[in-house]
Amino acid sequence: MLTITQALVDQIVAHARKDHPDEACGVVAGPAGSDRPERFIPMLNAAMSPTFYEFDSGDLLRLYRDMDDRDEEPVVIYHSHTATEAYPSRTDISYANEPGAHYVLVSTADTDGAGEFQFRSFRIVEGEVTEEEVRVVEAY
């Protein structure tokens, strides 16, 4: 289960809406070993595409060095889908290389009639996708 604050959910959704119609992407870092997302880090979609996202390699290197300096790890890796449901694509699955991370997808397309966005979380380990419950809290 992913436990995340409402403030972080709001920041992730706002980033997805701001970058629409391109996919948004980013990380929420947390203390190493805690599984607690704390620090919101929006990233640039280097692909600048409505159907694909890619972290800039230089930005990603700086991010990992910064997290290492702070004794953090990527707790949440998020991106948006602009025209499809919030479910990992084959490309998303093939690029998922953080087995301990929660992969959050936000869809800015109303694909299910449930409203203006979907917010879902998945574990992706060795190509296996497992959806998990999302518990939104006011604070930890």
Q: pLDDT tier at 117 (50, 70, 90 boundaries)?
A: confident
Token readout for 105 is 């997808």
Q: 51, 83 in Cβ contact below 8 A?
A: yes
Residue with tokens 């409402």: 6
Q: Residue 111's Cα: distance from chain center in Å? A: 19
pLDDT at 111 over 90: no
Count of residues making up the chain: 140
Helix (H, G, I), strand (E, B) or coil at 84: coil
Averaged over 37-45, what is the pLDDT? 97
* pTM of structure: 0.94
Helices vs strands, H then E, count in the chain? 3, 8
Statement: residue 47 has pLDDT above 60: yes
